[in-house]
Amino acid sequence: MSNLKNDKEIQSYYNSTHFEYQLIWNWNLKTTPALHFGYYDEKATKHAQAIFRINEVLADWAVIKEGTTVLDAGCGLGNSSLWLTQYRKAKVIGITLVESQVEIAYKMAKKQNIQGAEFRTANYLNAPFEDASFEIVWAIESQCHTVDKSLFYKEAFRLLKPGGRLVIADSIRTSRQLNTHDETLLKNIFNAWAVPDIDTLEEHEINAAKAGFVNFESKNVSKNMFVSYKNLRKTIKKLTPLAEIMFRLRILSKIRYDNFKQSGKQADALEQDLFRYYTLLAHKPK
């Protein structure tokens, strides 16, 4: 058992909601081919810039340079893998449970004329690589799909070379003791995104330490990410009447409708400080 929120459920979710992601993020194979939120600052004031900026921020923090071996764990459409290959000359392998995403990633590489990145259909909790295969394990909004986050940390530790780094960007709940209303809101939002739950920062740090990681660092970058959430909420409100009609006519499946309906509420939950967006960095001892 993989301990992901059911591999088939993850595959079904991403295959079913492909159109909504493309519509909402307005991505194509040349501009913003990514499923994650964008990082806004003085260098990135537009969506396409913000999507690429999070790659730059994490790569700088994790010290990724030419020749660095990277596992993009839960690579989605391959945006980060290709960015790291193109701009850092890193040696990257991206893995995802969704076969169609591997196909899109290779199409994107061809469209952008980027060579060197490799993509595979694989589970990041049981990755098909030898111990100590990578210098970096990279995870943008992917480990959240794991039921037991400790298993992700254990596998990342196994895969890293001594002195290697694990870098994560993801949603982190502010408390394990939310009131019933807030807990329900949080669960409804993330369950609709095929995310069983999100951990607290303390839980992440404990799991990292138990796996063997040291020098755990965290940065609350919610302010940088909020523009993406706000734009998503605005788009959802605009399209909601059409989505409701399509759902009633059974054009939209329940998975797609729930994904759409709950997406805009993430900005509400972020404003209410039910969760925050963090970047995390942990080191495997040398």
Reported as a single tens digit per residue, the pLDDT across 108-163 is: 999 999 999 999 999 999 999 999 999 999 999 999 999 999 999 999 999 999 99
Domains of the chain: 7-283 (3.40.50.150)
- pLDDT at position 252 is 86
Q: For residue 225, give the amino acid letter.
A: M
Instruction: Measure Cα distances from 146 to 67, 111, 124, 125 in Å.
Output: 29, 32, 10, 9
**Residues belonging to the chain:** 286
pTM above 0.95, yes or no: no
CA atoms within 13 A on the CB side of 196: 13
List all residues 6 or more positions away from 247 whose beta carbon is below 8 Å from its beta carbon.
Answer: 254, 257
User: Can you tell me the distance from the alpha carbon of 41 to that of 189, in angstroms, rounded to the nearest whole number?
Assistant: 26
pLDDT at 1 over 50: no
